Amino acid sequence: MKQFWFVLIFGAAMLVPALSQKHASDPFAGRWDLTITAGNTSYPSWMELVDEGGNPAVRIVGRTGSARSVQDVKAEGVHLSFTTTESFGGKPVKVIWEISAQGDKLTGKQHRADGIDYELAGVRAPALKRPVPTAWTKPEPLFDGKDLNGWEPDNPSTNHWVAKNRELVNETKGANIRSTRKFDDLKLHIEYNCPQDGNSGVYLRGRYEVQVEYEPADKNDKYHSMGSIYGFLPPSMDLPPRPGQWENYDITLVGRTVTVVRDGVTTIDNQEIPGITGGAIDSHEAEPGPLYIQGDHTGGMKYRNITISVPKK
């Protein structure tokens, strides 16, 4: 996913200590899974409110981009408002958020400067604290290398994904593609070949993007670089770039705790993913979800040998 917003703002937010999911004096404290709707159009979002020196500090994941701080935060009892700048159709638009809390649910509106209003609904994000499974099933192929059986594009009219030479190839930018199967806890093995200037991503459960990119070195910071959980978790070390060559990820996701091994090197070790990342298919974090591969940024991406293991029952 391309970085649409200044990471300086988000970097400061990362220093704020997390509050518990519930706080007696602040009905908004903690993390929230949001859905924003206008007519037949909707998109997922995410919000976290923490205390920063006695003042409320809010960061959100909006329609695009990664987690970022908001402006003009006002919290009065069960009412919260703040301002952001969102990207709609590639254009920045000022948005005023007005939210009310009732127990573990939120309702509200987004008022866009271009005159369009959205309805907002939210629930508390689940903790997803689960023990690590003691045994996993044998890895099972998700892609047979012959055709797109078991996969579906999010927009068939712009789909450029094909099966070629036993590889899942995005010939030019267009649709994203997802598995028809959905997963909860999982172990994923996936091999990828990212060209120079390529940008893609692998979304776990369709919500948490593991970044795949070889854009110019000054394009992305460590929170948005190859192997990051986009905007939330940077890789612990830099590996030499290998554009145009085959590499691999071995990823374990249990609840919202993730370990990423890239080319045999552990780069994210047992870290919590705070919430959905930009471009997620939905914000229903308590539910299983598909493997979702980004194809709307650049073409030329190739994937192969995609296998999944799940906990043994």
Q: What is the pLDDT of residues 232-285, one digit of tens each?
A: 999 999 999 999 999 999 999 999 999 999 999 999 999 999 999 999 999 999
* Residue-level pLDDT at 1: 56
Tokens at residue 303, please?
Answer: 């994937």
Q: Which residue has the higher pLDDT, 90 or 304?
A: 304
Tens-place pLDDT, residues 140-149: 999 999 999 9
Q: Is the pLDDT of residue 89 over 80?
A: no
Average pLDDT over residues 170-188: 98
170 SS3 class: strand
**According to the model, what pLDDT value does residue 179 have?**
98
DSSP3 helix / strand / coil % (the chain, rounded to 5): 5, 50, 50
- Percentage of residues in the chain having pLDDT higher than 90: 83
DSSP string, 92-140: EEEEEEEEEEETTEEEEEEEETTS-EEEEEEEEPP----PPPS-BPPPE
Q: Strand, coil or helix: what is 222? A: helix
How would residue 34 be classed by pLDDT, with cut points 50, 70 and 90?
Answer: very high
CA distance 99 to 81: 6
pLDDT at 19 over 60: no
pLDDT at 87: 81
Kindly tell me if the per-residue pLDDT of 44 is higher than 70. Answer: yes
Q: pLDDT by residue (tens digit) across 116-135?
A: 899 999 999 999 999 999 99
- Is the Cβ–Cβ distance between 135 and 164 less than 8 Å? no
Q: What per-residue confidence (pLDDT) applies to 162?
A: 98
Question: Which pLDDT belongs to residue 91?
Answer: 85
Mean pLDDT of the chain: 92
Contact 219, 298 (CB under 8 A): no
**Residue 6, pLDDT score:** 39
Q: Can you tell me the distance from the alpha carbon of 99 to that of 107, in angstroms, rounded to the nearest whole number?
A: 6
* Residue among 303, 195, 280, 284 nearest 229 (CA): 280
What is the rounded CA–CA span in Å between residue 181 and residue 168? 17
The rounded distance, in Å, linking the Cα atoms of 5 and 207 is 19
Q: Does residue 25 register a pLDDT over 80?
A: no
Q: Identify the band that residue 311 occupies on the pLDDT scale cut at 50, 70 and 90.
A: very high
Q: What is the pTM of this model?
A: 0.91
Overall residue count recorded for the chain in this entry: 313
For 157-170, what is each residue's pLDDT tens digit? 999 999 999 999 99
